Amino acid sequence: MNECCCPSCQKLMREKGLNPAKKEDRQEFARWTYYDMVEDLTAFAKKYNPDFHVCYNKGHVGYLDKPVIKDYSYFSFESLPGVEWGYLDFPVSAKYMRNFGKECLGLTSRFHTEWGDFHAFRNEAAMEYEVFSMLSHGCKCTIGDQMDYWGKLNKDMYQQIGRVYKSVEEKEPWCENAKPVSEIGVFTAEEFYATGVAGQIPGASEGVARLLMEYGYQFDFIDSTSDFGKYRLLILPDVIPVDEILGRKLSAYINAGGKLLASYQSGLDKDHQKFMISELAVKYLGDAPYSPDFIWPKEHLAKGLADAEHVMYDKGTLVETTDEAQFVQKVIPPVFNRTYEHFCSHLHSPSGRKEVYPGIVETENTAYFIHPIFTTYQNWAPAWYKKILRNELDRMLPNPLIQHNGPSTTQVTVLDQEQENRRIVHVLHYVPVKKCKNLEIVDDIIPLYNLKITMTEEREVEKIYTIPDKQEVPFVQDGKNLNLL
């Protein structure tokens, strides 16, 4: 959706009451141009054959495409992880768009970097990871190529692609019509900040995806029009504004027994004047007066953490609690803000050792973090952020759908094949490494041993087996608790 100011576009903008000199008007017109093109070309193609499949290839498919999803036969997620997309782009895109009832297709490439990287070879482990990730998210899979001037395909690369697709073929019976199972709905920041440009997914979205995937939680990305009742927990990561309509919808969800976790500016009105979700039990006073500040976790939030202050890197909000608050984890300011007036070492001054203002506020069904924990995790990945969040999720979402004892690099996804009355668990363990300046590299397939999986399953399980070799896995089921041994 590129801005254009050619004479024809300027004329059309003015006819629509838009000002070509204003960036926001140029962006609005760019979206209108894209929507008009999609509607026009789909109608043109289907005039010749109503059964034609029509899809538009874009560097990123997401919230901005909602107005024309009726004109897509399926969604294709172009996502070459080696360059601007990165390895979080595909899951963030797929976990949102797969909810709109269309067939979904992942698209990576055979190149080391991106399109036009002629005579380059993608690592086979990376190709496996990207294709198997597509299957694990309930999508079909594609590996893209680009023919050079001489019209000859590379034999060795196609032998590699053949090996990957042979493995896909062996797993197809357990992938066809498999639908993802999710218990957490995460609001997409793209509803409010989307650019539609590859690699420009808001950090809050990528941070929350990274955290939840590292712990094995099953989640979808959703927007304000989604069906909230499908989920046990909703998360509003860092930057989700709430208007009156959404506020009422969220309140109804909470009052019906749903759980909600919000952080930083999420839950505020778009002008950042007040919280629109009274159930969070906080009132907005402005920005926190100190940054960085510190949290010394107490009670259930302290599990697995040092008995000491933990720095919270990015500035939070300043709130006061209401009478509905049931637990308040307070924040410790530093001795002073490090400015030109006050100097301390290289980064920030240490803890002032006295808790002053609220940092995490809980009710039975809600939790509010004053800090932008998801954006900070995407930027810096502090381990204590992940542990504090996990402790909060243990309170809000006991007995999650699936848990495992593997390393955080283990990716676990759950899908259902309803017709076969069969539940599929995908386990991937490929580790992208920043072993060079510009790219994340997957070199190796690292096996997992003695992986223990616990699931919540109401149905009586007949058997569990690996695929495609159908080796039976011993298990014990006690009521809803299912343990794979």
Q: What is the DSSP string of 68-89?
A: GGGG-SEEEEE--TTTTS-TTH
Q: Considering only CA atoms, which of 416, 389, 391, 417 is closest in space to residue 401?
A: 416
How far apart (Å, rounded) are the C-alpha atoms in residues 413 and 400? 13
74: pLDDT strictly greater than 80: yes
In this structure, which amino acid lies at residue 171? K
Coil, strand or helix: which one is 153? coil
pLDDT at 351 exceeding the cut of 90: yes
Per-residue pLDDT tens digits for 233-260:
999 999 999 999 999 999 999 999 999 9
Give the three-state DSSP class for 34: helix
Q: Is 412 helix (H, G, I), strand (E, B) or coil?
A: strand
Residue-wise DSSP of 359-390: EEEE-SSEEEESS-HHHHHHHH--HHHHHHHH
The answer, yes or no, to whether residue 106 has pLDDT greater than 90, is yes
Task: Locate all alpha helices (DSSP H) within 256-360, ordered by sequence.
Answer: none
Rounded-to-integer distance, Cα 391 and Cα 214, Å: 14
Residues 6+ apart with CB under 8 A from 383: none
Give the pTM: 0.96
Six token digits for residue 204:
């809050």
Reported as half-sphere exposure (CB side, CA atoms, 13 A), residue 448 has a value of: 18
Q: Which of 105-109, 161-165, 340-344 has the lowest mean pLDDT?
A: 340-344
Strands 184-187 and 233-236: parallel
268: region left, alpha or beta (phi > 0 left; psi from -120 to 50 alpha): beta
Three-state secondary structure along 448-479? CCCCCEEEECCCCCCCCECCCCCCECCEEEEC
Quote the DSSP letter at residue 447: -
Nearest-CA neighbor of 262 among 391, 384, 382, 392?
392
Q: What is the DSSP letter of 461?
A: P
State how far the Cα of 323 lies from the Cα of 82, in Å rounded to an integer.
50
Structure tokens that stand for 393 in this block:
């999720």
Q: Helix (H, G, I), strand (E, B), or coil: what is residue 124?
A: helix
* Mean pLDDT score across all residues of the chain: 95
Contact 215, 242 (CB under 8 A): no
**pLDDT tens, 23-57?**
999 999 999 999 999 999 999 999 999 999 999 99
List, for residues 173-232, the tens digit of each pLDDT value. Answer: 999 999 999 999 999 999 999 888 877 888 999 999 999 999 999 999 999 999 999 999
Omega of the bond prior to 334 within 30 degrees of 0, cis?
Answer: no
Measured CA to CA, the distance from residue 221 to residue 226 in angstroms comes to 10
Burial of 118 (0-12, 13-18, 19+ CB in 10 A): exposed
d(CA 84, CA 93): 14
Helices within 2-22 (DSSP H only): 7-15
Say which amino acid occupies 388: I
pLDDT in tens, 279-323: 999 999 999 999 999 999 999 999 999 999 999 999 999 999 999
Closest-CA residue to 237 (of 200, 210, 257, 216): 210
Q: pLDDT per residue over 128-149, tens digit each?
A: 999 999 999 999 999 999 988 8
Q: Which of 112, 117, 148 is nearest to 130 (CA)?
A: 112
Kindly report, residue by residue over 385-418, the tens digit of the pLDDT.
999 999 999 999 999 999 999 999 999 999 999 9
Cβ partners under 8 Å of residue 113, min gap 6: 80, 82, 83, 120, 439
Q: With left for phi above 0 and alpha for psi between -120 and 50, is residue 450 left, alpha or beta?
A: left
Residue tagged 């997914």 (tokens): 201
Q: What is residue 84's predicted lDDT score, i.e. its pLDDT? A: 84
- Cα–Cα distance, 344 to 351 (Å, whole number): 12
Residue 339, Cα to own-chain centre: how many angstroms? 35
Phi, psi of 78 (to 5 degrees): -65, 120
Task: Give 187's strand partners.
Answer: 222
Whole-number percent of the chain with pLDDT over 70:
100
Handedness of CA 128, 129, 130, 131 (dihedral sign): positive
Q: Are strands 74-78 and 103-109 parallel, antiparallel or unpaired?
A: parallel
pLDDT tens-digit readout, 412-464: 999 999 999 999 999 999 999 999 999 999 999 999 999 999 999 999 999 99
What length is written for the chain? 485
Secondary structure (3-state) at 357: strand
Q: Is pLDDT of 1 > 80?
A: no
